[in-house]
A and B are shown apart, each in its own frame.
Chain A
Amino acid sequence: MIDPHVVFLKTPKGETEIATREHKLNHALRYVLILVDGKSTVGEIFSKGAGLSNIQTALDQLAAQAFIHTFAEARQNTNTFMHDPKNEIVSLVKNMLGAHAAPVIKKLLESDDSPEALVETTNACKRLIKLAIDDKKAEDFVRRAQEIIFASTLQHRH
């Protein structure tokens, strides 16, 4: 039984799922995922989704499939990722591009780990995405990837 005071928020995978319906979640799971807003407690989600039969199971499934996590888990993930921004960008690419991510991930994995090299590689990846995968996602990718690199650089300075 999940603690009714716990607050869940969507993972990047969960945010992407809302935007793209890539994983084709069933109606109930998608509805509960929408209710997870990073502010409402589990108890409040139970109240808001009163018409649904099993919110508890839905939350368990969404957490197990990494569509949602608690703030503590989010912090832990962020700390893990911040040591390896390349890893986080690879995860971002997987979430954004799904089955078409492979050539972009290959480019990223071949890149040097320095922030300058990663910025250069993300620009090259943006071009690849724009030309061959999805021109609408290219700008969003490069913005989010460079935010990750910037955040990682700041953390190293502190």
Chain B
Amino acid sequence: MHDEITTIVTALGILVMFFCLWSAIHLKAKVPGGVVGKKWQQMIGMIAFFALGYIAIPFLGQLSEVTMRMAVSLIFLFGAVYVAITLRLIYRVIEELAA
């Protein structure tokens, strides 16, 4: 039962992340450049990385404990970088609108 719930939650996470990746790529055409456009490209790269990381989650159990911990640490690190990029972007937009 516990395993089934974990599988469902993981599958939902993968689906949502791929939807985010599709949305980010689709919206890129509306933001070809400028301050947002440049950050958008970085965000697409990060979302693609997360999508791959999420797909790999079911297979993490087959890795050694050290490798698994390293993979999880990297996902945490890039999660923090993603939040930093997003915050910086929002700040730049607000700064521009306030000017």
Contact = CB atoms under 8 A, between A and B. Distances in A.
Interface of A: 100, 103, 127, 129-135, 138
A100 B37 CA distance: 12
A127 B92 CA distance: 11
B93 interface: yes
A127 B33 contact: no
Interface in B21-53: 30-37
B33 A133 contact: yes
Nearest to B33: A134
A107 B1 CA distance: 55
B36 A132 contact: yes
B37 A133 contact: yes
A131 B32 contact: no
Q: How would you classify the secondary structure of chain B's contact residues: helix, strand, loop or mixed?
A: helix
Contact of B96 (A100, A103, A127, A134): A127
B37 A132 contact: yes
Interface of B: 30-37, 92-93, 96-97, 99
Interface of A is mostly: helix
Contact of A132 (B32, B97, B99): B32
A101 B99 CA distance: 23
A19 to B, nearest CB: 16
A132 B96 contact: no
A122 B33 CA distance: 19
Contact of A130 (B30, B32, B96): B96
A146 to B, nearest CB: 16
Nearest to A102: B30
A134 B38 CA distance: 10
A100 B35 contact: no
B33 A135 contact: yes
